[in-house]
A and B are shown apart, each in its own frame.
Chain A
Amino acid sequence: MSTKSQSIDRKSQDERLRRVSKLKKLLNRPELGALGGSILVFIFFGIIAGDSGMFSAYGTLNFLEVSSNLGIIAIGAAMLMIGGEFDLSVGSMIGFAGICIAIPAIYWGWPLWSSILFAFSMAVLIGYANGILVVRTGLPSFIVTLAMLFILRGATLALTRLITGRTQVPGLRVLIENDPIAWIFSADVFSGLFVWLGSLGLIALRQDGTPLATGIPTSVIWWIGLTIFATWILMKTRYGNWIFASGGDKLGARNVGVPVARVKISLFIGTAVCATIYACVQVLDAGSADTMRGFLKELEAIVAAVVGGCLLTGGYGSAIGAAFGALIFGTVSMGIYYTDVDTDWFKVFLGAMMLIAVIFNNFVRRRVTENK
């Protein structure tokens, strides 16, 4: 009799233990800091800019679009950072990819879809170059990609001026209409939904009756899609484990058979491809390419990744966190224009948010590795 009740007691104790540890597991995730930060930012702007139109359909899509653009490159930066490296050439790659799309299409008469494919193949080449240089020389990726930052930006400017005589290449909007690929970077999705919401009077209308907010921009779909894809890779695949291992202990990982060099090279290709997706979205939206596009964006991507919980030294982080980091960044950078605060203070605000998020993340990470 007594033994039976004993075993029942132990079983119920185990169940309680399991429940607590599930909650604890949630609290110990790297995304927590970024999620908390996002909620804080929304509360903040909800209070001070609630009626200003920031959270109208049109206003919301506006800051979501900024967030999603940054989110696309933040995912690449986060995965690379988890793998233990940095890519400072992302901003220059955005500019370079932009002219790879625009110049062949406008000046050489290529169909737009082939320019887009050309830009992606250049991305693979440049990413591969970055990766091979880092892996073979053993130099810090910081230095190698910094050099590539200058090389790419200079090449962008020099080649564009050489071929076109100016620093901008306009005129792309007309080419989008009949192109088979371009729509996946430039269309508005769910426009039917917005028309319906407009007819119900739930969102603002233009003077001709169509809704002001025409649809969800494709950059948002790309952002969400890339985040899901990256999370699946990191959590569910063998390759994802290799990424964590390469960033956590490069030498040890190689000793147990992880192909660290291959992993890092593929991650550099990943950041270059993300930069090219960003460039496609931006070039097709603005209808033009510009040699200065993407300036300093690599730093913003790194900020988003760090705010999202990625450790600068590698081996730890999350793509979902980086997505939230981008959301914070985008909301703040647009939200400040809805207040009376001078926009010069934007950088102060941003730095403060970054610091808070990083301190919080550090606290979470210490609990993960020091508590049981």
Chain B
Amino acid sequence: MRKIYLSILAIVSWAMMSVAAVAIDVIVVSHGQANDPFWSVAKNGVDSACKDMKISCKYTAPGTFDMVEMAKLIDNAVSQKPKGIVITLPDAAALGKSVKAAIAAGIPVISMNSGSDDFASLGISAHVGQTEFEAGVGGGQKMKAAGGKKALCVNHEVGNVALDRRCAGFKKGFGGPVEILGTSNDVTEIEKAVAAKLGGVDTILTLGAGLSGEAALKALEAAGKVGKIRLGTFDMSPDMLKAAAAGKVEFLIDQQQYLQGYLPIAIFAQYIRWGTMPAGVVMTGPGFVTPDNASKVIKWAAQGYR
């Protein structure tokens, strides 16, 4: 028995040594969950930038979309005294206190992906991302130009203010009636919800490609309405890109989340060295991926960079 105890103790000690903490230069606190392929691209951006810039980074996220837990993670990050913190800002009201505490502690904060309207008032130095409303407007205009009259906007993460804005912008750009359909983030449920609404629309916009975009496409294929109902989506996924290359999807709005992960790290690396910081919003989108340029993007997406 003693031998077993000793060997367990040895293994545990070795494991503990290997995970002992080192000082981190930049901590990223994002709301992006592991099960969404969108965020793995952003995380790749973070990791590439850290390697290129030769600084140490850590990417953290709460287990579920929980603003309270995310605020705690920001507080956590502050107590580790990094040289910079990168966050996403899906809910400025809930996260504001923790962000302000970070800034008051002398740690600069850059926001990415969400929060383009709120970042400045919290004292965040810069925002890297795509402004949601304008991107939505662009998408709406494109659909209107293609001849759309009645549309459906599928929101799979209700409570995320940025997504609310996408639908709102789309509504403005589209002009005609737009119904906002709120769903959970379960693929089967989204497909069923969309299928139920196919009767009354000629245009569908989804706010995420891998999750809701593909689910909507499946619903269209099952009902035989591909081409008859125009489908556009925010963000990208391999299957949606293939569908775009095949002409089944009007466009994908690419916010280029790789840059959202990469640029804040690069900005902080220069800030740490020379104190430079861009002012305002650094736009990473909207980039439109259409049937014309889809095949190239497909190659890069398969590698995890688009």
Asked if the two chains touch in their complex, CB atoms less than 8 Å apart, one says yes
Interface string of B44-64 (1 = CB under 8 A from A): 000000000000001011011
Residues of A within 8 A of B145 (CB): none
CB contact list, B70-93 vs A, under 8 A: 71-73, 75-81, 91, 93
Determine which of B68, B71, B76 lies in contact with A337 in the assembled complex, contact meaning CB atoms within 8 Å. B76
Please tell me if the beta carbons of B94 and A340 are within 8 angstroms of each other in the complex.
no
Residues of A within 8 A of B77 (CB): 337
- Which listed residue, A49, A287, A334, touches B72 by the CB 8 Å rule? A334
List of B residues within 8 angstroms of A170 by Cβ: 91, 93-94
Q: A167 CA to B16 CA in the complex, in Å? A: 42
Task: Report whether B76 and A338 are in contact in the complex, using a CB–CB cutoff of 8 Å.
Answer: yes
By beta carbon, the residue of chain B nearest A340 is B19
0/1 interface trace, chain A 142-170, chain B, CB 8 Å (1 if under): 00000000000000000000000011101
Binds B, one of A28-36, A229-237, A262-270, A289-297: A289-297
Asked if residues B21 and A293 are in contact (CB atoms below 8 Å), the reply is no
Bound CA–CA A105/B154 (angstroms): 31
Which residue from chain B places its CB closest to the CB of A51 in the assembled complex?
B21
Q: Which of B101-149 contact A (CB under 8 A)?
A: 101, 104-106
Question: With A58-B78, A206-B105, A338-B80 in contact, do A171 and B159 touch (Cβ < 8 Å)?
Answer: no
Smallest CB–CB gap between A333 and chain B, Å? 9
Is residue A66 contacting chain B, with contact meaning CB distance below 8 A? yes
Residues of A within 8 A of B63 (CB): 343, 346
Interface size counted on chain B using CB atoms at 8 A: 39
Indicate if the CB atoms of A168 and B76 lie closer than 8 Å. Answer: no
> Given the complex, which residues of A lie within 8 Å of B78, measured CB to CB?
58, 212
Tell me which residues across on chain A come within 8 A of B64, comparing CB atoms: 295
On whether the beta carbons of A52 and B21 are closer than 8 Å, the reply is yes
| Closest CB in chain B relative to A206 CB, distance in Å | 4
- Give the interface of B toward A (CB within 8 A): 16-17, 19-23, 34, 58, 60-61, 63-68, 71-73, 75-81, 91, 93-94, 96-97, 101, 104-106, 158-159, 164
New A-B pairs, 18, CB < 8 Å, besides A62-B76, A286-B68, A339-B21: A47-B20, A48-B20, A48-B21, A51-B23, A53-B81, A58-B75, A59-B76, A167-B158, A171-B93, A206-B104, A212-B78, A282-B68, A285-B97, A286-B71, A287-B93, A292-B65, A334-B72, A339-B19
Q: Which residues of A contact B (CB under 8 A)?
A: 44, 47-49, 51-54, 56, 58-59, 62, 65-66, 166-168, 170-171, 173, 204, 206-208, 210, 212, 282, 285-288, 290-293, 295, 334, 337-341, 343-344, 346
26 examples of A-B residue contacts, CB within 8 angstroms: A47-B20, A48-B19, A48-B21, A49-B20, A52-B23, A58-B75, A59-B76, A59-B79, A166-B159, A166-B164, A168-B91, A170-B93, A206-B101, A206-B105, A207-B106, A285-B68, A286-B71, A286-B94, A290-B67, A292-B65, A293-B68, A339-B21, A340-B21, A340-B22, A341-B19, A343-B60
